[in-house]
Amino acid sequence: MLFHYASDVTFLYLGLALAGLSGGLGEAPVLTYVAEITQPRYRGMLAATGSTCVILGVLLEFLMGSFMKWRAVALISAAVPVLAALLLFFIPESPVWLASKGRLEESKAALAWLRGWTSKEQVEAEFLEIERQMTKDAELQKDFTIVDKARLYTQRAFLQPFGIILLCFFIGHFSGMTTLQTYAVQIFHTLKAPINKYYATCLLGLTELIGTLFCVFLVHRTGKRPLVFTSTIGCAVCFFGAATYAYFVNEIPGAAVQNVVANVSSIKADIT
């Protein structure tokens, strides 16, 4: 709504900051919830589905932005988080979290609902495994002090996988993914794309969606390491090719500056 009713660039910055903060705060609980409610054989696919939905949203924004004013796109987009918030009232809490709080009957009922509205008896074996794991964790942490818990974060068993995850996220975001999506129209115009810059941007979103769908179906069969290596090398090759092409296109620096200035000016003119 801040985007739709913005009367100054400050409101756009505030809206972007709040959207980024909300996305960051929501990502960890969502991934944790998916991991806790999903059976192991489906966990990788469902975790990857989150990225697919993000890219689908980006593609829809590209499509709407091609023939609608950005204020109208912002207003339509505001309905999505409202709908998501309403749907949250209809899903149960994580069975693992409920069991950790001693709410065993609620945990069993939630597990039965999440497995396709089955009866509690049909999920008895899985529930007993959750209960056993919660009891084991409680025994391990019973004598833990705050210092002992803090020490866990300094051990190699934590630091090594944590460092790998940080590196993967850093490479993924530092590769220019967000920048490419944000300035796709200007980039295609600057690189003198042979088709309409808005159509090219929509094709970019479609290509990203196809790539994430491949990831969803392949992650269970190939594992995560081959996908990480393949996608990282593929991104490097593509960006190197784009940079090389941009270097040899005539008057790229001047055109790039003119496009950015023109884009900012048009946004400010639209706001005022």
Is residue 130 one of the residues assigned to a domain?
Answer: no
Could you report the per-residue pLDDT of 223-266, keeping only the tens digit for each? 778 888 888 888 888 888 888 888 877 654 444 444 443 443 34
Distance of CA 243 to the CA centre of its chain: 26
- 113 has pLDDT over 60: yes
Could you report the per-residue pLDDT of 6-21, keeping only the tens digit for each? 777 888 888 888 888 8
Separation of alpha carbons 163 and 2, rounded Å:
37
Name the average pLDDT for the chain: 80
Which pLDDT does position 270 carry in this prediction? 43
Among 3-7, 51-55, 87-91, the range with the most confident prediction by mean pLDDT is: 87-91
Is residue 170 one of the residues assigned to a domain?
Answer: no
Is residue 195 one of the residues assigned to a domain?
Answer: yes
Q: Pick the closest to residue 104 from 138, 75, 57 (CA basis).
A: 138
Which pLDDT does position 251 carry in this prediction? 53
Select the more confidently predicted residue: 268 or 72.
72
Q: What is the DSSP string of 191-206?
A: TT-SS-HHHHHHHHHH
Separation of alpha carbons 100 and 131, rounded Å:
8
Examine the fold and report which residue of 34, 59, 91 is the final residue of a domain before the chain moves on: 91
Provide the whole-model pTM.
0.70
φ and ψ at residue 193, rounded to 5 degrees: -60, 140
The gap between the terminal CA atoms of the chain, to the nearest Å, is 17
Is residue 12 one of the residues assigned to a domain?
Answer: yes
Separation of alpha carbons 101 and 110, rounded Å:
14
Which pLDDT does position 250 carry in this prediction? 60
Please say whether the beta carbons of 97 and 116 come within 8 A: no
Is residue 253 one of the residues assigned to a domain?
Answer: yes
Is residue 204 one of the residues assigned to a domain?
Answer: yes
- 69 has pLDDT over 70: yes
Separation of alpha carbons 6 and 60, rounded Å:
22
CB-count exposure of residue 59 (10 Å: 0-12, 13-18, 19+): buried
Cα Rg for the chain, rounded, in angstroms? Answer: 23
Domain count, the chain: 2
Could you report the per-residue pLDDT of 163-218, keeping only the tens digit for each? 988 888 888 778 777 778 888 888 888 888 888 888 888 888 898 888 888 888 88
Examine the fold and report which residue of 76, 91, 106 is the final residue of a domain before the chain moves on: 91
Q: What percent of the chain has pLDDT above 90?
A: 0
6 SS3 class: coil
Is residue 144 one of the residues assigned to a domain?
Answer: no
Structural domain including 200 reads 176-271
CB atoms within 10 A of CB 189: 21
Examine the fold and report which residue of 75, 91, 107 is the final residue of a domain before the chain moves on: 91
Select the more confidently predicted residue: 204 or 219.
204
Is residue 122 one of the residues assigned to a domain?
Answer: no
Who's near 109: CB < 8 A, 6+ residues apart? 92, 120
